[in-house]
A and B are shown apart, each in its own frame.
Chain A
Amino acid sequence: MKLTHGQTDALQELGNIGAAHAATTLSTMLSANVSMSVPEIKVIDISEIYKYVGDEIAALVLFQVNGEVKQGGYLLLYVAKSSVIRLTNAMLGLTDMERELDEMDESALLEVGNIMVSAFLDGTAGLLNIIMLPSPPQLVIDMPHAAIESIIASQDSIDIDEVVLFKTEMVSDAHNIQSSIFLFPNHPMLEDIIRRLEDILNPSM
């Protein structure tokens, strides 16, 4: 599968809007500035996923995307392991950086994931004029590649050879927190999104 320049641009714009909403909520939660990168959009063969998501342990908050698009895909909040404790400390008002992660941290991660991903989908849904809802979140603290390949392998009746990776990095310099939002749209959702974006960008067609 190939995306045209126009389609990549359109998806990038969509990602910008979603990520801006998510970054704003993160900024509010942390009471600090959050900067975001230009969204990266790539079609990747499954054999090369490890070049983009590796085995460095991270906290992943995962959501299935539902709503008007059935089994639309997955949204994932990725927080580097070194950032997890700084993020949850900032949220919980704690200062001990050496402590072990406990249930409070897990709740805080699920919460921040919920809020950011809901904001992301609100932002994009506003543009596309469709409602996309996140499933309840699932937290995994493990190798990101292991989580992603398990998702791809578990798709009923869809045999996937390539994925569309959609990634925006969000960084809070004040707290030294690095996180990313990944979107892995399934094909029907991707086509639906592209069609709607093209309609918006070229209303005459």
Chain B
Amino acid sequence: MSLMSPGNDTVIIGIGEYKVGSMPMASIGLGSCVGLVIHDRKIGSGALVHIMLPSSQGKTDRPGKYADTAIAVLIKELTSNGSSQDNLIAKIAGGSAMFKTFSGNLNIGERNVEVIRKLLKEKNIPLKGEDVGGCVGRTIFYYPKENGKLTIKRGDGTLAEL
């Protein structure tokens, strides 16, 4: 299991959080939330954010929680960290629909993915890989120093790599 288990140096990104750096990062059990990686191909570092909702509707206290503020803050921090926007690429995982019959926004995962795709396009950040939708949970590991590799462990036991 060593391959897919977080090592001691892996930083776990909880719901609504983000980190920028070159250390391995992980998000545990993504459901309708989306793990978005923005990776700098040149300098081997990047960021992972655990997005919960599509729109901040003006709120600023948890930028990582919403797609719009998350993408803005990631680009800002990566560029102030020495990244050129031309070198950035993105990968996403998550956005599933775990339930079928409860009331509420059951398609929230799909909406998260749509909004993230649209915003990345507006910012000219190419989306180089995605593992989204369906009805499974996903745990993801992002390795900035290994060419931005993103490994995915799905709730049905299957594995993937982006």
Contact = CB atoms under 8 A, between A and B. Distances in A.
Contacts of B103: 64, 71, 156
A154 B28 contact: no
B83 interface: no
Interface in A116-157: 135-136, 138, 140, 142-156
A142 B137 contact: yes
A141 to B, nearest CB: 8
Contacts of A94: none
A72 to B, nearest CB: 12
A38 interface: no
Nearest to B57: A159
B14 A48 contact: yes
A121 B157 CA distance: 34
B54 to A, nearest CB: 10
Contacts of A41: none
A24 to B, nearest CB: 28
B53 A149 contact: no
B98 A140 contact: yes
A150 B99 CA distance: 8
B77 to A, nearest CB: 17
A152 B59 CA distance: 18
Chain A contact residues: over half helix, strand or loop, or mixed?
Answer: mixed
A57 B30 CA distance: 13
B138 interface: yes
A155 B16 CA distance: 16
Contacts of B32: 149-150, 153-154
Interface string B8-45: 00001011110000000000111111000000000000
B58 to A, nearest CB: 11
A9 B53 CA distance: 34
Contacts of A155: 104-105
Contacts of A53: 29
A146 B104 contact: no
B34 to A, nearest CB: 10
A155 B31 CA distance: 14
A143 B158 CA distance: 13
Nearest to B64: A47
25 contacts: A47-B15, A47-B17, A48-B14, A54-B29, A55-B139, A55-B153, A55-B155, A62-B99, A64-B102, A142-B135, A142-B137, A143-B29, A143-B31, A143-B137, A143-B155, A144-B29, A149-B15, A149-B29, A149-B30, A153-B52, A153-B109, A154-B32, A154-B99, A154-B104, A156-B104
B62 interface: yes
A161 interface: yes
B2 interface: no
Nearest to A56: B29
Contacts of B108: 150, 153-154
Interface in A146-181: 146-156, 159, 161
A28 B104 CA distance: 35
B14 A146 contact: no
A155 B108 CA distance: 10
B106 interface: yes
B139 A150 contact: no
A135 B104 CA distance: 14
A29 interface: no
A145 B31 contact: yes
B151 to A, nearest CB: 13
